[in-house]
């Protein structure tokens, strides 16, 4: 599908899935285990419609509670990521296992009240139209800074990486992966999501990794 066709097909009203500590960048893949009744209903509706769900972070650390009372729901960050369900499976205990693929970022303009048990919002894509086009390569030097910062960050966190895979990853893929898997705070994840361009996001990753505190009890692990 062409970029113009994707832009035309973007929904004006988006189903919202609030999830603390997770952001969905364009082209990223995010596996989700859905078990709450309201989100099971959301996925069912999406599967019968356009398969689209908007991932957003709540501004509280605890995420949403089970109530659908509008006065008892946390504020949401205004920018989220629209994703398309590309994999779907139902488990014997009635959970849904889905994979979202990021399409485009959006800005919430107004929440929509209705009978659905999940939250919905009218959204605007104007600031993020470049998301549906192929990202440019990183400027000279930024990729080297990113990999150098990753070395130091992983050492400080007691982690390792498959460096062959890191070097072979394209610029956008590497930035998406690091934004998803590095254990940054939710507000830092949100800043990465809201970075206007790929180079901006790469520079922010460099800064976050360079100034991240060393983990005193970092478990050993591996970044794939």
pLDDT tens for the chain, 224 residues: list them.
Answer: 444 555 568 999 999 999 999 999 999 999 999 999 999 999 999 999 999 999 999 997 544 443 334 445 889 999 999 999 999 999 999 999 999 999 999 999 999 998 999 999 999 999 999 999 998 889 889 999 999 999 999 888 888 888 999 999 999 999 999 999 898 999 999 999 999 999 999 999 999 999 887 763 443 344 54
Q: pLDDT, tens digit, for every residue of 33-48? A: 999 999 999 999 999 9
Q: What is the CATH number of domain 3-132?
A: 2.30.130.40
CB 25 within 8 A of CB 102: yes
Dihedral pair phi/psi, residue 118, rounded to 5°: -110, 165
- Calpha distance 81→130 (Å, rounded): 14
Polymer length of the chain? 224
Question: CATH topology for 142-223?
Answer: Methane Monooxygenase Hydroxylase; Chain G, domain 1 (1.20.58)
The answer to whether 3-132 and 142-223 have equal CATH topology is no
Nearest-CA neighbor of 193 among 91, 93, 83?
83
Q: Which residues pair with 102 in a beta bridge?
A: 83
Give domain limits for the chain. Answer: 3-132, 142-223
Strands 159-161 and 221-223: parallel
C-alpha separations of 135 from 2, 3, 139, 173, 201 in Å: 14, 12, 12, 10, 12
């Amino acid at each position: 599908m062409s970029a113009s066709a994707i832009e035309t097909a973007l929904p004006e009203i988006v189903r919202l899935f609030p999830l603390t500590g997770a952001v969905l960048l364009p082209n990223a893949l995010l596996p989700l285990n859905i078990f709450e009744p309201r989100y099971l209903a959301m996925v069912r509706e999406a599967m019968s419609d356009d398969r689209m769900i908007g991932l957003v972070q709540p501004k509280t650390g605890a995420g949403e509670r089970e109530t659908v009372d509008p006065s008892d729901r946390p504020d949401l960050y205004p920018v989220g990521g629209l994703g398309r369900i590309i994999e779907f499976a139902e488990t014997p205990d009635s959970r849904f296992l889905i994979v979202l693929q990021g399409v485009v970022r959006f800005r919430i303009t107004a929440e929509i009240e209705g009978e659905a048990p999940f939250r919905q919002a009218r959204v605007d894509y104007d600031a993020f139209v470049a998301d549906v086009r192929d990202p440019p390569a990183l400027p000279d030097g930024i990729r080297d800074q990113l990999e150098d910062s990753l070395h130091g960050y992983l050492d400080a966190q007691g982690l390792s990486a498959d460096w062959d895979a890191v070097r072979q990853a394209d610029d956008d893929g590497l930035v998406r992966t690091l934004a998803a898997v590095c254990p940054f705070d939710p507000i830092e994840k949100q800043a990465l999501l809201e970075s206007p361009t790929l180079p901006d996001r790469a520079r922010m990753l460099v800064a976050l990794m360079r100034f991240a505190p060393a983990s005193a009890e970092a478990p050993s692990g591996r970044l794939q």
